[in-house]
C-alpha cells in the first residue's frame, strides 16, 4: 500500500506554514494586488524569522561541511542514495503549496535563492554553493533570481543573444545584452548579497552548446533595471527587465565549464543548466496547486452555504450541474497534486525526474487555470467582483501555465521522453 503519511518534522513544519499563510499572507492579498509596485516590507519583516529558520534547516549543512544545502538531491540527477532520507525537498514543496494558498505573489517575494539557487544547485561547484547558500544563514533578508528570457528568445533558447566574452587580461567575463520577465529581479539586484543567474552565450555560432550560466551579484557595475512590468496576476511579486552593458563579473562566477562542445560542457553547460527545471518545475506546480486549493475550498464553502453539497453516495447522473463541476474541480486538483508528489518523490530518492517534472508542471498549470475559472463561474457575479479573492486567484493562476516552460514546451518534453526522440526529431 502506498503511504502518504509525512514524517513528524514535516507535519510540524506544515502547521507553521499554515499559520503564516493564514495570518501573515491572506489578510494582505487584496491590498498588495491593488498596489503592484508597493514593496511588502511588513510582510517580509513578519515572515523573515520563519524563512530564515526554514533555510537554516535546509541549508545548514552547507555552513557546517561545505556541501550544498540540499545534499545534492534537488538537481534531478541520480546520485547514490543515502541511508537517511533527505526530506528537505518535500518540505519545500509543501511549504510552497501552503504559501501559495495564502498568496502566490507574496510567496514569490519570500527572501530565498529562488530559481537562481536551483541553477547553482544543479551545476555549481562546491565552492560556489558554499559561497551563495551560506549567505542565507545570516540575519538579513536576501533574494535570488534567474534571467533567461530575452525580447527575441523565449522558449527557443538557441536564439539567445546576450553574450559573455572573456577578458583574458583581467580574467573577467564581460556581459552584454537584455533579459526580460525576471521574477524578483529588482529584489535580487537592489538588496545586499542578492544575485541573478544569467544565461548567456560564449559562442553564438555554437548554438545551445555555447550557452552558459553566470552568477551576477548585486552591485555589479553595468547592470541596470530599465522597466518594471505591470502584470495580470501575482502582482505582489516584482517582474523586471535587466540590461547588461559591459558588466564585468569574476571568472569563477561561471556555472560549469567554459569550454564549448567538450564532454564537460555537455554536462555542465546548457544541458547541466537545464537540470534546474527538473527541480523548479515541481515547485511551480506546487504553487499552482496552492492557488487551485484556495479557489476550490472557497467555491465548496460558498456553494454549501446555499445548500449545494456533493453527495458522493449518489450516482453521477443524479448530481446537479454544480455538483458535477465541484467534483471535476476536485478530481483535477488531486490528479495534479499526485503528479507533483511523484516528481518530488523521485528527487527525494535521488532519481531522475525529467519527464515527471514536466508532467506535473503542465497538468498543474492546466488544472489551476480551469479550476479558478470554474470557481468564478459557479460564484456568478460575486466571483467576478473584488468583494472576494476568487477573481484574483483566476488572474494569479494563468502565469503557472506560462513560466518555467509553457504548457506546449512541457508537452514536447514528455513526448520526447516517452517516444525516445531527440530535440531534432521532435520539435
Residues 6+ apart with CB under 8 A from 226: 241, 243
| Nearest by Cα to 423 from 156, 47, 96, 140 | 156
How many residues are listed for the chain in this entry? 427
- DSSP assignment of 174-202 equals EEEEEEEEEETHHHHHHSTT-EEEEEEES
Q: Which residues are catalytic?
A: 404
Whole-number Å distance between alpha carbons of 104 and 120: 24
C-alpha cell at 419: 517516444
Q: Which of 167, 164, 230 is nearest to 199 (CA)?
A: 164
Q: What is the dihedral of CA 211, 117, 33, 337, to 10 degrees?
A: 100
Cβ atoms of residues 63 and 134 within 8 Å:
yes
The whole-angstrom separation of Cα 108 and Cα 99 is 9
What SS3 state is found at 413? Answer: helix
Q: Are 292 and 103 in contact (CB under 8 A)?
A: no
Strand partners, 182: 240
Record the cell numbers describing residue 275, joined without a space: 537540470
The Cα-based distances of 284 to 209, 277, 401 in angstroms read 27, 10, 10
Q: Which of 297, 326, 311, 147 is nearest to 220 (CA)?
A: 147
Q: How far apart are CA 297 and CA 304, in angstroms?
A: 10
Nearest to 285 by CA among 182, 389, 113, 401: 401
φ, ψ (nearest 5 deg) of residue 401: -90, 0
Amino acid at each position: 500500500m502506498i503511504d502518504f503519511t509525512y514524517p513528524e518534522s514535516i507535519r510540524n513544519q506544515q502547521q507553521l506554514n499554515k499559520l503564516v499563510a493564514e495570518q501573515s499572507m491572506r489578510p494582505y492579498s487584496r491590498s498588495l494586488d491593488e498596489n503592484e509596485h508597493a514593496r511588502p516590507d511588513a510582510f517580509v519583516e513578519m515572515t523573515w524569522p520563519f524563512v530564515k529558520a526554514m533555510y537554516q534547516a535546509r541549508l545548514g549543512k552547507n555552513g557546517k561541511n561545505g556541501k550544498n544545502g540540499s545534499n545534492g538531491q534537488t538537481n534531478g540527477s541520480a546520485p547514490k542514495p543515502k541511508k537517511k532520507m533527505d526530506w528537505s525537498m518535500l518540505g519545500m514543496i509543501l511549504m510552497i503549496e501552503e504559501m501559495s494558498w495564502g498568496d502566490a505573489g507574496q510567496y514569490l517575494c519570500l527572501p530565498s535563492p529562488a530559481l537562481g539557487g536551483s541553477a547553482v544547485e544543479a551545476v555549481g561547484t562546491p565552492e560556489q554553493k558554499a559561497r551563495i547558500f551560506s549567505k542565507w544563514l545570516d540575519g538579513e533578508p536576501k533574494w535570488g533570481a534567474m534571467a533567461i528570457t530575452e525580447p527575441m528568445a523565449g522558449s527557443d533558447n538557441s536564439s539567445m543573444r546576450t553574450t559573455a566574452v572573456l577578458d583574458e587580461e583581467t580574467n573577467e567575463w564581460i556581459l552584454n545584452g537584455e533579459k526580460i520577465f525576471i521574477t524578483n529581479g529588482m529584489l535580487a539586484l537592489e538588496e545586499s548579497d542578492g544575485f541573478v543567474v544569467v544565461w548567456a552565450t560564449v559562442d553564438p555560432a555554437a548554438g545551445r552548446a555555447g550557452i552558459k550560466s553566470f552568477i551576477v551579484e548585486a552591485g555589479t557595475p553595468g547592470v541596470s533595471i530599465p522597466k518594471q512590468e505591470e502584470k495580470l496576476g501575482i502582482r505582489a511579486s516584482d517582474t523586471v527587465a535587466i540590461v547588461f552593458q559591459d558588466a564585468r563579473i569574476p571568472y569563477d562566477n561561471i556555472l560549469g565549464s567554459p569550454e564549448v562542445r567538450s564532454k564537460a560542457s555537455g554536462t555542465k553547460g546548457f544541458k547541466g543548466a537545464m537540470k534546474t527545471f527538473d527541480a523548479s518545475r515541481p515547485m511551480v506546480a506546487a504553487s499552482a496547486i496552492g492557488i487551485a486549493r484556495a479557489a476550490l475550498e472557497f467555491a465548496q464553502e460558498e456553494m454549501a452555504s446555499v445548500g449545494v453539497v456533493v453527495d458522493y453516495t449518489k450516482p453521477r447522473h443524479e448530481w446537479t450541474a454544480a455538483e458535477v463541476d465541484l467534483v471535476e474541480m476536485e478530481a483535477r486538483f488531486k490528479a495534479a497534486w499526485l503528479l507533483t508528489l511523484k516528481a518530488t518523490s523521485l528527487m527525494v530518492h535521488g532519481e531522475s525526474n525529467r519527464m515527471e517534472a514536466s508532467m506535473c508542471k503542465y497538468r498543474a498549470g492546466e488544472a489551476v487555470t480551469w479550476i479558478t475559472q470554474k470557481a468564478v463561474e459557479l460564484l456568478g457575479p460575486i466571483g467576478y467582483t473584488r468583494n472576494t479573492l476568487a477573481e484574483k486567484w483566476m488572474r494569479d493562476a494563468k502565469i503557472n501555465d506560462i513560466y518555467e516552460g509553457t504548457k506546449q514546451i512541457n508537452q514536447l518534453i514528455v513526448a520526447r521522453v516517452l517516444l525516445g526522440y531527440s530535440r531534432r526529431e521532435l520539435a
